[in-house]
Amino acid sequence: MIIGCALLMELIDSTVVMTALPQMASEFGAPSVRMNLVVSLYMLAAALAVPVSGWAADRYGSRRLFVLAIVLFTLSSLACALAGSLLQLCLARLCQGAAGAMMVPVGLMILLRWSPREHLLRNMSYLTIPPLVGPMLGPPLGGLLVTLLSWQWIFLVNLPIGLLGVYLVLRYIPDYPGDSQQRLDVRGLLLASVALASLVFGSEALGHGLLARRWVVLLLLLGGLAALLYVRHARRCAQPLLDFAPLRVRSFALSFWGGNLFRLGTAAQPFLMVLLFQLCFGLSPLQAGLLTFTGGVGAFVVKLLAVRIVRRFGFRRTLSFNALLTGLSLGACASFNLDTPYWLVVLILFASGLIRSLQFSAMGGLTYADVPAELHSRASSLSAATVQLTMSLSVGMAASLLSLLMSVKGAQQVGVADIALVIGVSALACMASALVFRTLAPDAGSEIYR
């Protein structure tokens, strides 16, 4: 729960500023379009920090790095609140994003080392709540704080949470010593950082309209080229920064590829729902945020049942069937219109959140079920880097498809039918992941739930 709360704080902060951007723009006297940098630079810094976090945890000790990340995140939050210009705020957000990104793989590494094998599925089930709730809780929380107080408070609330987190980590989490023999793969760091930063920032720029289309294309091409060069380098390096060795474990590999495909289909849902509710239905940011948060409520409910469901049906049947259910629930969201009763919208979003939560819980347990202890840090770093990338790509691809539909129609504003079509494409991606999970062995990962 300590690690999960730290991850929740980081994930909420990645989206909470979205509702405060107009107020920030007014105070700093900056154009509204430039304020998207506050969100995008956070994602950029996170992409740059993820690759090195696994090596740093092995080198200096996971608890020490986890505490350092929380301290830096808290101080960066204070710097954001005290910023007197857009430049100062952007620099503080860069530091905040880097510190927040380190908490994800390092916290996961601690959990993998600490959890008894028979409790891994249950613990991973609770750890998957932040990725579901964080992006949904951020916008309504930001809207509430900005409405009642001021935009500075969306950062100041992190101070007591960060101080409490440091105390709890030092009090309850074991201190695993680092390995001074771990060497940094400098060339791999440069290639991985360029690849992730270009792909993530390019996707963010595409989704938020930060850059001209030709610069976005160049960024994505640069990221793709750097990624190919990194793969070539990793095959020849004895200790690459992002190691692909865990992919030799079949259950990890199938969960990795199937999970990334599933996230490509689901990560853009909060973004698409907010667009639908605000632009098409005319709801306020707070009302739209509260509606999308009902999906996060469903995420809590299924945690009580996830272990029992996997124990009853196994990973293969649970993941395969639930991926199809997720696609159907997204398809139901695509049917929303102005005449849809609010109670039905809430019910469908709640059910959708419940189904996706079960999927993430099962994927989280399966991903590390058969990974040996010596590969835990490599597996967590690789997984964290690709999660960061797929979530950004999902939003960028959704925004790009919406822009394409608008240009084909010659429309100036996105319509309900456009969003419904993009949601339908996302649903197909979720269903396609079921084909990957069907190739799992019937008893895959059974050791952690028997």
pLDDT value, residue 15? 63
Between these two residues, 234 and 450, which has the higher pLDDT value?
234
Q: Give, in order, the Cα–Cα distances in Å from 225 to each of 198, 219, 439.
A: 10, 10, 30
Q: What is the rounded (10 degree) CA torsion for 397, 271, 302, 101?
A: 80
In the numeric block, which tokens belong to residue 437? 């999970």
Between these two residues, 36 and 442, which has the higher pLDDT value?
442
CB atoms within 10 A of CB 155: 26
CA dist., res. 237 & res. 160, Å (int):
43
pLDDT value, residue 206? 66
CA dist., res. 95 & res. 260, Å (int):
27
CB–CB of 410/286 below 8 Å?
no
Between these two residues, 260 and 31, which has the higher pLDDT value?
260
1-175 against 243-450: fold identical: yes
CA dist., res. 387 & res. 46, Å (int):
11
pLDDT value, residue 128? 63
What's domain 243-450's superfamily in CATH?
A: MFS general substrate transporter like domains (1.20.1250.20)
Residue ranges covered by each domain of the chain: 1-175, 186-240, 243-450
Residue 372 has pLDDT above 70, yes or no: yes
Most confident of 131-145, 164-178, 329-343, 384-398: 329-343
Between these two residues, 358 and 435, which has the higher pLDDT value?
435
CB atoms within 10 A of CB 90: 18
Mean confidence (pLDDT) of the chain: 76
Q: What is the pLDDT of residues 6-24, one digit of tens each?
A: 777 776 666 666 666 667 7
Cβ neighbours for 303, distance < 8 A, ≥ 6 positions apart: 125, 126, 129, 357, 361
pLDDT value, residue 324? 92
CA dist., res. 318 & res. 315, Å (int):
5
**What pLDDT band is residue 302 in, cutting at 50, 70 and 90?**
low
Cβ neighbours for 413, distance < 8 A, ≥ 6 positions apart: 279, 406
Which of 92-106, 317-331, 334-348, 385-399 has the lowest average pLDDT? 385-399
SS3 content of the chain, % helix, strand, coil (to 5): 80, 0, 20
Domain 1-175 has CATH 1.20.1250.20: yes
CA dist., res. 144 & res. 313, Å (int):
42
Q: What is the pLDDT of residues 180-221, one digit of tens each?
A: 666 777 787 788 878 877 877 777 666 555 667 777 788 888
Nearest CA-CA partner of 380 in 260, 243, 257: 243
Which of 92-101, 140-149, 227-236 has the lowest average pLDDT? 140-149
What's the pTM value of the predicted model, to 2 decimals?
A: 0.74
Residue 285 has pLDDT above 70, yes or no: no
CB atoms within 10 A of CB 119: 12
Mean pLDDT of 256-264: 88
